[in-house]
Amino acid sequence: MAQVEKKGGLLRKASSTKKPLKEKVVLMYDEIFKNEDPAKNCPRFWEELFLMKVEMVVDLLSCTLQVNLEYLEAKLESVDGDELMKLKDNINSLFQHCIVSLNEEHQIKVVNALQTLCALIRGVHQKNKPTSGFDIINMLMGFDKAELRMKNLMESLDTLLCGDGSESLKSLCLQLLLCLVTVTDNISQNTILEYVMINSIFEAILQILSVAASRVQHGYDGVVLLALLVNYRKYESVNPYIVKLSIIDDETTLNGMGLVISQALTEYNRQYKDKEEENQGGFFSALTNMVGNMFIADAEEKISVQTNEAILLALYEAVHLNRNFITVLAQSHPDMGLVSIPTTPTLPTTPTTPLGNMSPSSDVMNSSELPLDPNLHTSNLLITFLKYCSIVMQDTKALINLLKFLMSNETVLLGKYNIFALALMVVNLFNVFITYGDTFLPTPSSYDELYYEIIRMHQVFDNLYSMVLRLSTNSGQWKEPASKVTHALVNVR
């Protein structure tokens, strides 16, 4: 008997030359892409569609769901612009029936509705990239009904996230929200997020972070989602997520957020350590590498572990916006709970922070105030972050080159930016590494290499000191920020 091969929603006989047979769900998708109402001749069309198991694998023990709707996205990609406009009513109907199905008791319907919404949102955005956000909204749900549709969608997602439903459904809800937020390269150009600002899910995210069981399952997605929503047009209009994040004072919630961030950074540090141990050879290998590096500057192969920009953004926003979060940095976590973290975290393009808008605490942190004790074996978020920095920024040449760039372009940059805020951050980083580096640097030799590099490049720090001393002794707008750099350079010089 000929074997049956399954691919892209099609059934193929391996030994047959006949056209492939289409599954029923694929045939129903094709009906949506015709210029007539698919429910006209089949009144139960939408109900049957959402009861279909769309290439779905359900494992009730592990509650994992995998749904492949590439065929639907491919159909949207294949239709030209004029033809797509003719299908607007059917696409609007599909979007609306997805929202209605989110309130069904039948779990298969809810699962298929969530996955179909993801496919629709991705497909329509990919097809309409050159057009405005208003055109995309109109294509998805109809501009005249968009406010009501999005209100119903956000209320349904909030109910599912806060309810007693399965963890797999909550995971799919967060994946849909992340899809909605990251569908454009620049989050501030995602017009559909205006409705997410109006219909807030902030409290649902806080509930996830506050409850240990849900934090383990969904904490990472919740923290990343919150960090992204905070960045939506943050400098252009009032963002309710910024306001709400800034006033959180609940200790359980803040500690929950800190635990998620700390676990993600710890996982990165662990992966780096594992790779470092894999790359370590015996005595002869270490000796030959050391001798080789004396003659070839870049002979040592860099250990590469993918960085997690999403969690760094979350940490920055938490510290920058909420003063109560500062206490979380020093909170010990000897028995840190595990958090589910994606193996390849990704983050879309987000607005960058201007030099003049640094965290209010970044220019006043004194290295002598950091709660680092080499005799303590407990960990906290600050120590974990410094360990992360010590790995990511092992190449001190990059930091020194940054200082050289600031000095060589002093005249041009000072006309637009406060370059001393950035210089102070670099110098403070060196101060922390000099004072406490032996407690968190990856290896003892890293500490020696840091000292060697600072001594070798002492001229750069001398030149920086001369520049900031000159400006700190003159009466002008840069006197105070330059003075801070002058005082911070005492350790390095």
In the predicted model, is pLDDT for residue 259 greater than 90? Answer: yes
Strands (E), 273-429: none
pLDDT score at 195? 95
In the predicted model, is pLDDT for residue 431 greater than 90? Answer: no
Average pLDDT, the chain: 77
The domain limits of the chain are 22-199, 220-277+306-350+374-392, 394-493
pLDDT tens column, 359-383: 333 333 344 344 444 444 446 888 8
DSSP string, 100-146: HHTT-S-HHHHHHHHHHHHHHHHHHHHHTTTS-HHHHHHHHH-GGGH
In the predicted model, is pLDDT for residue 227 greater than 50? Answer: yes
How many Cβ atoms are within 10 Å of 354's Cβ, its own excluded? 11
Q: pTM (2 decimals)? A: 0.71
pLDDT score at 309? 86
**Residue, of 29 and 174, whose pLDDT is higher:** 174
**Range of lowest pLDDT (167-171, 373-377, 442-446, 482-486):** 373-377
| Angle, CA 211 vertex, CA 256 and CA 157 arms, to 5° | 105
- Alpha-carbon 450 to chain mean position: 31
CA distance 181 to 225: 8
Name 329's Cβ contacts closer than 8 Å, sequence gap at least 6: 258, 319, 380, 381, 382, 385
Q: How confident is the model at residue 246 (pLDDT cuts 50, 70, 90)?
A: very high
C-alpha pair distances (Å), 196 with each of 152, 221, 275 = 11, 17, 41
Q: How confident is the model at residue 295 (pLDDT cuts 50, 70, 90)?
A: very low
Asked if 421 and 368 count as a contact pair (C-beta separation under 8 A), the reply is no
pLDDT winner (highest mean) among 19-33, 338-352, 412-426: 412-426
Q: What are phi and psi of 211, to 5 degrees?
A: -100, 125
CA distance 108 to 259: 33
CA distance 196 to 180: 9
Q: How confident is the model at residue 109 (pLDDT cuts 50, 70, 90)?
A: confident
Question: What is the pairing mode between strands 21-22 and 10-13?
Answer: antiparallel
> Mean pLDDT, to the nearest integer, of 57-73?
49
